[in-house]
């Protein structure tokens, strides 16, 4: 089904930027919120994004104004009757999102696709609330939506193939890189990214390393834009703690965060958004650790933890193509190299040897899976790790 008109529910920063992305590609879009104040604020944000495009020479003033005119703000669900593709981008509260999807089922035409921008909540629950589960899909943008290229397309067991294909096509049409992902806690990028962050934090705790040395080593040696403590401050320590608790409940202690994270949240230190987390507003790290990190060992552990989670995603069929993992981590997390490309470069035999050595020296969390060892012994590839159709 071609998408002639879209809609976005929620005019916060993320929703406003999603509407801007859609309009910039020439697709009319309705932007809905519950108050005129929120709508006005969202439209001002859209205007600021277009203004930056003009200042950087990417759009003329006339082009920016024409694209801005494609966004129709509204307070009424009734104005969504002709939308073909609706993206929910309200705050991350399950009951609120369920209520929105129930309302969308009433207001939208039967064939309309209802998408959610949730970064962590179960899409299946929203699909059930919609009353039309075959038409519901996750459509997870990364922040800032006006810049980041990746969209995770989260597919539930009830999502129809037509919905998936229309969603992928629409993602490409609005200039993004859509990657289909089978629904699971953490989806794909956050699951692998959190595995890397948790391991970096665990290394610091186990080796009494300073925060600054861990972040610096990973920035300089691992091809990531931020170390785990810098990224934690950016995301929000309270948000990170919530995500960690969800992932621990789903997958076990490999996602456990260090006690200091819970302590800082209890103290009200939530990161950059309130001026204090692992670093102060001025960039000074908290007094934690006394030794410099060993860059080689740290990078080995974080790389190995990232790869192990990526391998589990393959083994569980979370993606249908191993290369999608690298695309997602590069476009969604800013990594220079994805974990699959790394394994292909060094070879599965060397990967298994590294994991075995780390398991002996550091702990059993690095024990190589039997299936991975079998692939390495028999000359298999990571594509062979995918479940049979």
CB 138 within 8 A of CB 164: no
Residue 120 has pLDDT above 90, yes or no: no
The reply to whether 214 and 346 lie within a common domain is: yes
pLDDT at residue 389 in the model: 65
Residue 276 has pLDDT above 70, yes or no: yes
Looking at 36-50, 98-112, 241-255, which range is the least confident one?
241-255
- Strand segments (E) across the chain: 6-9, 29-32, 71-74, 85-88, 113-116, 136-141, 150-155, 177-182
Residue 2 has pLDDT above 90, yes or no: no
The reply to whether 250 and 213 lie within a common domain is: yes
Q: What percent of the chain has pLDDT over 70?
A: 99
The reply to whether 178 and 301 lie within a common domain is: no
The reply to whether 377 and 354 lie within a common domain is: yes
**What average pLDDT does range 293-314 have in this prediction?**
97
Using 50, 70 and 90 to split pLDDT, how confident is the model at 286? very high
Q: How far apart are CA 318 and CA 274, in angstroms?
A: 35
Residue 12 has pLDDT above 90, yes or no: yes
Specify the pTM: 0.93
Flag whether 266 is in a domain.
no
Domain that holds residue 333: 189-233+246-255+289-389
Q: How far is CA 353 from CA 349, 350, 366, in A?
A: 6, 5, 11
| Run of H or E residues at 230 | helix 228-235
The reply to whether 125 and 218 lie within a common domain is: no
Residue 385 has pLDDT above 90, yes or no: no
Residues 68-92 have pLDDT tens digits of 999 999 999 999 999 999 999 999 8
Flag whether 343 is in a domain.
yes
Residue 139 has pLDDT above 90, yes or no: yes
Cα torsion through 149, 151, 152, 154, rounded to 10: -170
CB 211 within 8 A of CB 286: yes
Which pair of structure tokens corresponds to residue 343?
């394994």
Query: Count of domains in the chain?
Result: 2
Active site (annotated) includes residue 140: yes
Residue 388 has pLDDT above 80, yes or no: no
């Amino acid at each position: 089904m071609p998408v002639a008109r879209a809609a976005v529910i929620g005019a916060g920063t993320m929703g406003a930027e999603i509407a801007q992305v859609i309009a910039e590609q020439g697709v009319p879009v309705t932007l809905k919120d519950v108050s005129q104040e929120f709508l006005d604020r969202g439209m001002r944000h859209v205007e600021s994004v277009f203004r930056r495009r003009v200042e950087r020479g990417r759009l003329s003033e006339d082009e920016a104004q024409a694209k801005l005119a494609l966004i129709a703000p509204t307070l009424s669900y009734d104005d969504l009757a002709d939308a073909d593709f609706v993206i929910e981008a309200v705050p991350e509260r399950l009951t609120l999102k369920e209520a929105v999807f129930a309302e969308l089922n009433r207001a939208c035409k039967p064939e309309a696709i209802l998408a959610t921008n949730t970064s962590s909540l179960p899409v299946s629950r929203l699909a059930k609330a919609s009353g039309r589960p075959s038409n519901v899909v996750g459509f997870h943008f990364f922040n800032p939506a006006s810049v980041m290229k990746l969209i995770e397309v989260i597919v539930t067991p009830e999502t129809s193939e037509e919905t998936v294909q229309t969603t992928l096509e629409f993602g490409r049409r609005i200039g993004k890189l859509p990657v289909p992902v089978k629904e699971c806690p953490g989806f794909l990028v956050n699951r692998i990214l959190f595995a890397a962050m948790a391991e970096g934090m665990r290394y610091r705790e186990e080796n009494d390393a300073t925060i600054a040395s861990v972040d610096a080593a990973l920035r300089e040696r691992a091809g990531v834009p931020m170390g785990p403590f810098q990224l934690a401050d950016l995301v929000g320590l309270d948000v990170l703690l919530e995500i960690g608790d969800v992932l621990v409940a789903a997958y076990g202690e490999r996602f456990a965060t260090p006690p200091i994270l819970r302590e800082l949240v209890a103290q009200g230190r939530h990161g950059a958004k309130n001026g204090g987390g692992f670093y102060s507003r001025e960039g000074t790290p908290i007094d934690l650790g006394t030794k410099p990190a060993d860059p080689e060992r740290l990078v080995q552990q974080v790389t190995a933890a990232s790869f192990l989670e990526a391998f589990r995603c393959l083994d569980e069929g979370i993606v249908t193509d191993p290369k999608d993992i690298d695309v997602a981590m590069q476009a969604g997390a800013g990594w220079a190299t994805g974990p699959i490309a790394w394994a292909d470069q060094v070879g599965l035999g060397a990967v298994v040897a590294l994991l075995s050595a780390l398991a002996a020296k550091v702990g059993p969390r690095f024990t190589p899976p039997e299936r991975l060892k079998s692939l390495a012994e028999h000359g298999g590839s990571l594509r062979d790790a995918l479940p049979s159709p």
